[in-house]
Amino acid sequence: MKPDKDIIEVQRKYRIVGRTEAIAQCLAADKARKHLLIEGQVGVGKTTLAKAVADYLRRPLHRVDGDERFTSSKLVGWFDPPIVLKNGYTRDAFIPGALVEAMESGGILFINELNRMPEATQNTLLPVMDESLLQVPKLDTIEAQNGFRIIATQNPEASVGVTRLGEALRDRFVWLILDYHTESEEKEIVQINTEIEDEKIRDIAVAITRATRDYPSIKRGASVRGAIDLASLFHQLSELGRSDWEEAAVMALVPKIQLHDNTQKTPQQIIIDLVRSVMGNF
């Protein structure tokens, strides 16, 4: 699709490569007053996209990061015990969480990795998404101001440490999936983030990283972050007279891949095999 001026401005201002259609969908969701769930593998730019759109819309951004210990009280808010003892359950005694802050400011609640939160915490969002209202016990009913939206991200359900969102919660979002960038876009991203002038280093780093996504022994490959790290490491090693792609690739990519359970080789061996295979094309 041909980008309009809003999309071009988001790409320019926040240094986003590509993602024309995704940006358009994010802006459309906001105009339609819908809450947005962005799904994709680690490192495809879910958080970058969400933060860029929120900032471009010029609304306050209230971020929370999902994990299994994130309780409903952390999301909504809690009462300060000393003030409660002195004045009772007054508004002054209430310390608002990110959800209440976003509702009252007409801002955006950005939940990073929503499907790592406990189900009870996730369900706190249901009345807010249905009615723009939140009942806080011993306090008032909080009403969301115009502009309030929830933008959440989640990793695929097959990822380690995530849970499946309940159907009731999923039903209240509109959905956007992000895949990996194209090869040419990834080369541009590496160039922007490393400023390495040697195009061959950039091209090899991207080729090795992209190969991890299709390698038989690898369950989850590396994102473009792997290519950025790989190009940067190789560039530094070559300046030291140790131009070894295998050494740089092990350092950059081993922490970023996940092997299939039945794989006999170590991650280091897998990466070395992969590098040797890819280098045959250069």
pLDDT tens figures, 186-200: 999 999 999 898 999
Mean pLDDT, residues 246-258 taken together = 94
pLDDT band at 127; cut points 50, 70, 90: very high
**Measured between alpha carbons, how far is 149 from 56 in angstroms, rounded to an integer?**
14
Does 2 score more than 70 pLDDT? no
183-279 folds as Helicase, Ruva Protein; domain 3 (1.10.8)
**Measured between alpha carbons, how far is 227 from 236 in angstroms, rounded to an integer?**
14
For residue 147, give the 3-state DSSP assignment: coil
Amino acid at 137: P
Cα–Cα distances in angstroms (integers) from residue 88 to residues 44, 72, 92, in the given order: 47, 22, 9
Q: What pLDDT, on the 0 to 100 scale, is given for residue 158?
A: 52
**Measured between alpha carbons, how far is 85 from 103 in angstroms, rounded to an integer?**
27
5-178 folds as Rossmann fold (3.40.50)
Does 161 score more than 70 pLDDT? no
Cβ atoms of residues 62 and 98 within 8 Å = yes
- Paired residues of 134 in beta bridges: 142
pLDDT tens figures, 66-83: 888 888 999 998 888 888
pLDDT tens figures, 91-107: 888 889 999 999 999 99
Q: What pLDDT, on the 0 to 100 scale, is given for residue 172?
A: 93
Domain range summary for the chain, segments of one domain joined by +? 5-178, 183-279
pLDDT tens figures, 13-59: 888 999 999 999 999 999 999 999 999 988 888 888 988 888 888 88
Q: Is it true that 5-178 and 183-279 share their CATH fold?
A: no
Q: What pLDDT, on the 0 to 100 scale, is given for residue 85?
A: 83
Phi, psi (degrees; rounded to nearest 5) at 89 = -85, 70
